[in-house]
A = this chain, B = another copy of it.
Amino acid sequence: MTTRWLTSEEQRAWRAYIAASHLLEDAIDRQLQQEAGMPHVYYSILANLSEAPDRRLRMTDLAERTKITRSRLTYAVTRLEKDGAVRREGCPSDKRGSTAVLTDEGMTLLERTAPGHVDTVRAALFDRISPEQVGQLEEICASVARGLEGDDAQAPPDDVPWRRRSPGPCT
């Protein structure tokens, strides 16, 4: 099959997307690095923990929610543990497992830095788009995420019947 190249509308959209996502991530990373001393992903880890029951989550679970690899998470949690924001605990039911727990200190850090973070996200994104666009963005991203979620391959071959989906939100 010969390649279906992008139409010029698609090209424009793709380029705009690449630019926007780079600029946005950079802006957020810079802001959080300054105010919280950590990059966005690390902040997201804390945020996810703060919303979990008992502020604790199994490593793999946390990796799935934050959409990062397990090894990246291991590194991040080790660092956050040094900072005192997170604590690791063994899992009694499954001795292989380990659980990340948000400490009080971590919670405090989160509460202290959340306003600045939200301001940044607002200034960069939500203050620049209309309420309809918020909905549109969600729909688009949800479709994309649904398609890629738990996908091992990028282009599911036609001979594979179907793949698992996972429900629920993320950070």
Contact = CB atoms under 8 A, between A and B. Distances in A.
Given A21-B21, A67-B19, A137-B16, A27 B148 contact: yes
A interface majority secondary structure: helix
A139 B18 CA distance: 13
A115 B3 contact: yes
A87 interface: no
A91 B141 CA distance: 43
A68 B170 CA distance: 27
A140 to B, nearest CB: 5
Interface stretch (A54-62, A78-86, A149-157): A149-157
For the complex of A and B, 4 pairs with smallest distance between CB atoms: A16-B141, A20-B141, A22-B67, A13-B138
